[in-house]
């Protein structure tokens, strides 16, 4: 196995001012549900970011066109004003045009007015009107009676303290970090029913690190808030590539979450195709002809009501008809259907997907293995997810496991047991560290033969490469624990005979002490008139 270099641990718990901002914003929530408040806060953060980016460009244009020493100097005030307020000056540099009534300075000036809700709604409408790519995705419910306008004004003042978009902060992806942090905190606050769209960052990072999406089409048919795409772009940049080298395709069935994804990607300037509207990938596949080079996804676990009864003859079910009561194997086959001839998919599923034999799932899993599609299985530690305590795993499937990019892996599957990895962020949530992610992904890269990844070797208790023959003997169950075995016991160097002599003597002393204590108890009970 390739040995990972130790890296500085980074977790969501040690980010920075995001935690302070969240604590302050959460205090203003009052009695509002987290699911509802989420759109209030994230919409304002988005608006502040757009306005800050615009104001920075506006200021630079004003300085250039107003300075007589500048080659851009325009003497006539009216002409100068017209150029500075020309939307094309901003759009040409991928900066959204923000009309006056939507600029943060105007909104904050009016934050204490009773009609602040309508002012914010009008700002959202104005931005959508002047920026077609944002049409119908911004929240516009700030004027509703149930929203405390005094609290809204306080929230605006709070967010107004942040400069989210100067050039230095953009280089650090400050808005992305704030946005991501708030999404994770809202997922935690919403609990079991509200956070199904949010995949913890460490899980996304693990998927991305393992499939290494450098160049090509990246697809997520249940994209939630778009985290898979963001991490894919970060991966390309971190490894010296250009973010334009990958094309983003996605789909999301929840209308409000679809809007969050659009906002999340727009914040970072990531080009994408999430369809013209929200839609269910099973019932209405918006990218039916897409063949993706990489698929990254975290579909809803054990989804019951997915419409399977109306899709019995669907072309996607090449390896068996998924059961009506569980969409796990429908998702797997949907992913495979959309893979290019050399594509690879990495996705999260409930642990039951590795071993279930109910309603034909075992037969489908057998067919997938015999078709030589399953590349790697990773068992994850518990308590990673905000929305569920269901144990989860990672699947990796590849269309062509004998292609020239890596070694020929036909007839083999890599199993990784990562259940003991991670650190506790708090009493209920665990996170994989950067070192954990590097060890998992480095093991996979070494096994599949990535250039420079080092030599792979089985590590008892952690990873093992198993043949299809061996897997068949286990009834085509894909639980890593069956294959990796127990970790090797630490050898302390003490000869066995000496160790047994020492332990026997120690046990003898403990037994003598036990007999003495028994006698003391008998005496004490006898003194009280009781016989043992």
Give me the phi and psi of 375, to 5 degrees please.
Answer: -105, -45
User: Do the domain assignments include residue 11?
Assistant: no
pLDDT value of residue 416: 98
Q: How confident is the model at residue 189 (pLDDT cuts 50, 70, 90)?
A: confident
Average pLDDT over residues 105-124: 96
Residue 67 zone, left/alpha/beta (φ > 0; ψ -120 to 50; rest): beta
pLDDT tens per residue across span 281-326: 999 999 999 999 999 999 988 999 999 999 999 999 999 999 999 9
Residues 6+ away with beta carbon under 8 Å from 247: 216, 217, 218, 271, 273
Query: Are 173 and 269 part of one and the same domain?
Result: no
Structure tokens at 470: 């061996």
Residue 173 is classified by DSSP as T
- Crossing angle of the two packed helices 149-159 and 17-27, in degrees rounded to 10: 170
pLDDT value of residue 172: 43
Report d(CA 472, CA 33) in Å as an integer: 49
Pairing between strand 216-220 and 292-297?
A: parallel
Residue 244 is classified by DSSP as G
User: Do the domain assignments include residue 3?
Assistant: no
pLDDT tens per residue across span 480-505: 999 999 876 655 667 777 778 888 88
Report d(CA 134, CA 249) in Å as an integer: 17
Q: Among the three residues 150, 171, 189, which one is the final residue of a domain in this structure?
A: 189
User: Do the domain assignments include residue 289?
Assistant: yes
Query: Are 337 and 366 part of one and the same domain?
Result: yes
pLDDT at residue 173 above 60?
A: no
Residue 369 belongs to domain with CATH number: 3.40.50.150
Tell me the HSE value of 299 on the side-chain side, using a 13 A CA sphere: 29
Structure tokens at 501: 């002599």
Query: Are 155 and 201 part of one and the same domain?
Result: no
Find out whether 413 and 478 touch, Cβ atoms under 8 Å: yes
SS3 state of residue 465: strand
SS3 state of residue 191: helix
Average pLDDT over residues 115-134: 95
Query: Are 237 and 115 part of one and the same domain?
Result: no
Average pLDDT over residues 394-418: 94
pLDDT at residue 265 above 80?
A: yes
Query: Are 339 and 365 part of one and the same domain?
Result: yes
Average pLDDT over residues 185-200: 62
pLDDT value of residue 387: 63
pLDDT tens per residue across span 376-403: 999 999 988 866 778 899 999 999 999 7
Task: Please report which residue ranges of 302-457 form alpha helices under DSSP H.
Answer: 328-337, 361-370, 434-448
Q: Angle CA(421)–CA(427)–CA(432) in degrees, nearest 5?
A: 25
User: Do the domain assignments include residue 489?
Assistant: no
Q: Angle CA(71)–CA(76)–CA(78) in degrees, nearest 5?
A: 120
Closest CA to 218 of 346, 368, 350, 407: 346
Sign of CA dihedral 515, 520, 521, 525: positive
Residues 6+ away with beta carbon under 8 Å from 173: 268
Total number of residues shown for the chain: 532
Task: Say which residue, 519 or 241, is predicted with more confidence.
Answer: 519
pLDDT tens per residue across span 430-469: 999 999 999 999 999 999 999 999 999 999 999 999 999 9
Structure tokens at 194: 């509200």
Report d(CA 159, CA 167) in Å as an integer: 18
Query: Are 51 and 142 part of one and the same domain?
Result: yes
Average pLDDT over residues 181-210: 73
Report d(CA 166, CA 298) in Å as an integer: 33
State how many domains the chain has.
Answer: 3
pLDDT tens per residue across span 13-69: 334 567 777 777 787 787 777 777 878 888 898 899 889 889 999 999 999 999 898
Find out whether 334 and 221 touch, Cβ atoms under 8 Å: yes
Query: Are 181 and 211 part of one and the same domain?
Result: no
Residue that the structure tokens 């390309």 belong to:
236
Residue 62 belongs to domain with CATH number: 1.20.1260.30
User: Do the domain assignments include residue 271?
Assistant: yes
Query: Are 412 and 524 part of one and the same domain?
Result: no
Question: Domain range holding 346?
Answer: 191-482
Query: Are 242 and 218 part of one and the same domain?
Result: yes
Report d(CA 58, CA 67) in Å as an integer: 14
Average pLDDT over residues 135-147: 90
Query: Are 138 and 37 part of one and the same domain?
Result: yes
Query: Are 180 and 217 part of one and the same domain?
Result: no
Task: Say which residue, 177 or 140, is predicted with more confidence.
Answer: 140
CA 213, distance to chain mean position in Å, is 15
pLDDT at residue 8 above 80?
A: no
pLDDT value of residue 1: 44
Q: How confident is the model at residue 165 (pLDDT cuts 50, 70, 90)?
A: low
Q: Among the three residues 163, 189, 215, which one is the final residue of a domain in this structure?
A: 189
Is the pTM above the cut of 0.95?
A: no
Give me the phi and psi of 173, to 5 degrees please.
Answer: 55, 45
The rounded percent of the chain whose pLDDT value lies above 90 is: 55
Residue that the structure tokens 């334009």 belong to:
244
pLDDT value of residue 36: 76
pLDDT value of residue 254: 86
Query: Are 196 and 185 part of one and the same domain?
Result: no
Find out whether 195 and 65 touch, Cβ atoms under 8 Å: no
């Amino acid at each position: 196995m390739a040995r990972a270099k130790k890296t500085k641990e980074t977790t969501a718990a040690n980010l920075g001012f995001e935690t302070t901002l969240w604590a302050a914003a959460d205090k203003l929530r009052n009695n509002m549900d987290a699911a509802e408040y989420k759109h209030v806060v994230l919409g304002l953060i988005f608006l502040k970011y757009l306005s800050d980016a615009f104001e920075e460009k506006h200021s630079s244009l004003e300085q250039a066109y107003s300075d007589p020493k500048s080659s851009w100097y325009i003497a006539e005030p009216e002409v100068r004003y017209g150029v500075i307020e020309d939307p094309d000056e901003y759009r040409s540099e991928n900066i959204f045009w923000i009309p006056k009534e939507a600029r943060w300075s105007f909104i904050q000036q009016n934050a204490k007015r009773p009609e602040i809700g309508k002012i914010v709604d009008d700002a959202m409408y104005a931005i959508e009107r002047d920026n077609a790519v944002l049409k119908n995705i911004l929240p516009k419910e700030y004027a509703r009676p149930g929203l405390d306008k005094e609290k809204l004004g306080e929230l605006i003042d709070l967010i107004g303290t942040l400069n989210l978009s100067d050039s230095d902060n953009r280089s650090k992806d400050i808005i992305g970090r704030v946005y991501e942090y708030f999404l994770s905190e809202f997922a935690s606050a919403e609990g079991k029913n509200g956070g199904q769209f949010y995949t913890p960052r460490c899980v996304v990072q693990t998927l991305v690190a393992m499939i290494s999406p450098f160049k090509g089409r990246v697809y997520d048919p249940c994209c939630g808030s778009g985290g898979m795409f963001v991490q894919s772009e970060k991966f390309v940049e971190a490894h010296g590539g250009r973010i334009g080298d990958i094309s983003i395709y996605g789909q999301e069935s929840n209308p409000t979450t679809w809007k969050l994804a659009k906002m999340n990607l727009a914040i970072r300037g990531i080009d994408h195709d999430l369809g013209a509207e929200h839609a269910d990938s099973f019932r209405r596949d918006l990218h039916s002809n897409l063949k993706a080079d990489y698929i990254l996804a975290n579909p809803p676990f054990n989804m019951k009501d997915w419409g399977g009864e109306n899709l019995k003859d669907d072309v996607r079910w090449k390896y068996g008809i998924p059961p009506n009561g569980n969409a796990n194997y429908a998702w797997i086959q949907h992913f495979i259907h959309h893979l290019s001839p050399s594509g690879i998919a990495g996705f999260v599923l409930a642990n039951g997907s590795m071993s279930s034999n109910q309603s034909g799932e075992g037969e489908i899993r057998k067919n997938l293995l015999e078709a030589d599609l399953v590349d790697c299985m990773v068992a994850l530690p518990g308590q990673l997810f905000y929305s569920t305590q269901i144990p989860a795993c990672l699947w990796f499937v590849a269309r062509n496991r004998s292609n020239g990019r890596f070694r020929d892996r036909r007839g083999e599957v890599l199993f990784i047991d990562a259940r003991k990895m991670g650190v506790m962020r708090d009493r209920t949530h665990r996170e994989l560290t950067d070192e954990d992610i590097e060890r998992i992904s480095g093991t996979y890269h070494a096994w599949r033969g990535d250039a420079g990844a080092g030599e792979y070797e089985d590590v008892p208790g952690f990873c093992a490469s198993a043949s299809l023959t061996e897997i068949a003997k286990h009834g085509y169950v894909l639980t890593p624990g069956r294959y990796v075995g127990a970790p090797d016991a630490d050898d302390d160097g003490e000869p066995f005979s000496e160790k047994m002599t020492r332990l026997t003597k120690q046990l003898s002393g403990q037994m003598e002490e036990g007999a003495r204590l028994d006698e003391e108890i008998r005496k004490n009970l006898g003194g009280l008139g009781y016989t043992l």
